[in-house]
Amino acid sequence: MQPVKIGILGLGTVGTGTCEVLHTNAREISRRAGRDIIISHAATRTLSNVKLSNPGFKISDNAQAVVDDPEISVVIELIGGDQPALDLVLSAIANGKHVVTANKALIALHGNEIFQAAQQQGVMVAFEAAVAGGIPIIKAIREGLAANHIKSIVGIINGTGNYIMTQMRDLGAPFKEVLADAQALGYAEADPTFDVEGVDAAHKLTILASIAFGIPLQFDRVYTEGISAITREDIGFAEELGYRIKHLGIARHSADGIELRVHPVLIPQRSLIANVNGVMNAVLVDADAVGQTMYYGAGAGALPTASAVVADLVDVVRSLTADPENRVPHLAFQANALSDLPVMPIEQIETAYYLRMLADDKPGVMSQVTGILGTAGISIEAVLQKEPAANQTQIPVIMLTHTVKETQMNKAIEEIEALPGISGNVTRIRVETLDHD
C-alpha cells in the first residue's frame, strides 16, 4: 500500500520526540499500521530552535502550509494552548485531514466543536497523549472497559504537583522551596499556575469524565483547587493519622449527577495511589464488571508522550479505509447518545474532612468547636491535639470527620472561625478512602 504522509505542527519537546520515535521504530510501526508512515512537512515557530539533524523532511515556520498540503493525510498538532492550535485543527478538518493532538486544553475547552466538525467531515481526531502522557488511559476507558458502567475515576494526573507533594513529605520542606527546586529541574514552568493550581489536571479530568460517563466536555463545571496552601505541617499531621495528601482529579457517577473536582485529598497510606511518588501519574478506575483497575506510568516527557502520539497515529492509519460510521467514537459513546446528566456543584458533594485550627489552650474552647460540629450533624472520627510550644498559649488541633455534605461543613467552619478562642482560618482538606463505590 502507498505510504501515509503526515505533517507535524510544533517541534518542541514532544514534537522532536515524536520524530525520534517514528524514525527509530519505523519498521515496527509500519508492521503494526500496515503501511509506511512518512513525515512530509513540519512547522515550528522558531527554526533556529530545531534540534533535529538531517531530518529528511521539509521544516518551515508556516503551519498553515502544513495544514493545506494536499499530500498530507494526517496532521499532528503539538503546539499546545488555544490559539493558533484551534484554528489550525479546524482548518485541517475542513481540508479532510485526520488529526492527532496532545493538547489537553484544546480538547477540554473546544473538543465538542472539534468533534462535531470531524464527524461532519468523516475524519478522526485522536488525543490519547492529552491525558497522562504515555499511559494509554483513553484507550483503556474508551475501548478496554466498553462493557462496563464506570462508577468513578480518581487520578494523579499532574506530575509537577505530585513531585511537589512528594518532596514536601520526604524532605519536610515548605511549598515555595520545593516549587523552586521543581522549576530548576524543569518539572515546573516559570509560571507554574496551571500545574500547582489544578488547571492542567482539570483539563485532563474533563476529558476522562466525558469518555467514562458519556457526557459532553464541560471544563467550566470542574471544581478546581490547588496545592499552594498545603503546608508541611498538614502533611506531617496526615501521616500521623495514617494518610497521605495527594492532589487528585476525581470524577464520580452518583445518584444526583456527576462529580467533577480537582483538589488536595487525604487518602489512606495503604492505598496504591498513595504510594505513587515523584513525577509519575496514576489513574484508578472503578467499574461495575471489572472492579478496580489502576494505570501507572510517566505522565509527561518527550518519549512517553510521543509513544501515545504515535499509537494514535497508528490507529488512524489502520482506520483510513474504514467506514466513518464504524469507527470508535471520539468520546466513547455515539455522538447522538451523549447524556445530559448534571454536573454537581461542590456544595452538594459528600465527603469526609481533615480540619486544622489554632485554638486557645484553655478550657471550653474545644467543647464549643465540637458543639458546632454536632449541631451541624458532623461526627468526629479522630482528634490530634498538640502540646503548646514554649511561651505559646495556642495549640494546633486536628480533626477527621465522617462523611458530610459540603454545605454543612461550610456553615460549621464559618461558625468555628467566628469563635473568640480560634485564631485565623480553619484549614480544610477533603478525605477519600478510595473504597469501591
Which residues are part of the catalytic machinery? 204
Q: Which residues contact 106 (CB under 8 A, 6 or more apart)?
A: 77, 81, 82, 85, 86, 89, 114, 130
CA pseudo-torsion sign 349, 412, 354, 183: positive
Spatial separation of the C-alpha atoms in residues 369 and 49, rounded to whole Å: 60
- Is residue 115 helix, strand or coil? helix
Spatial separation of the C-alpha atoms in residues 20 and 193, rounded to whole Å: 30
- Is residue 350 helix, strand or coil? strand
Nearest-5° Cα angle at 362, 357 to 368: 60
Strands 150-156 vs 243-254: parallel, antiparallel or unpaired: antiparallel
Residues in the chain, how many? 437
What amino acid is encoded at 224 in this protein?
Answer: T
Other residues' Cβ atoms within 10 Å of the Cβ of residue 77:
28
Strands 223-224 vs 37-43: parallel, antiparallel or unpaired: unpaired
Task: Give me the residues paired with residue 245 across strands.
Answer: 266
Spatial separation of the C-alpha atoms in residues 353 and 41, rounded to whole Å: 53
The per-residue b/e assignment along 90-109, b for 16 or more CB within 10 angstroms, e otherwise, is bbbbeeebbbbbbbbbbbbb
Q: What are the start-end ranges of the H helices in 2-43?
A: 13-24, 26-33
Nearest-5° Cα angle at 258, 256 to 259: 105
CB 153 within 8 A of CB 283: yes
CB 214 within 8 A of CB 115: no
* Lookup: cell for 27: 519498521
Spatial separation of the C-alpha atoms in residues 8 and 43, rounded to whole Å: 6
Q: What are the start-end ranges of the H helices in 122-221?
A: 137-139, 159-171, 175-184, 193-196, 199-213
CB 283 within 8 A of CB 310: no
Largest interatomic CA distance in the chain? 84
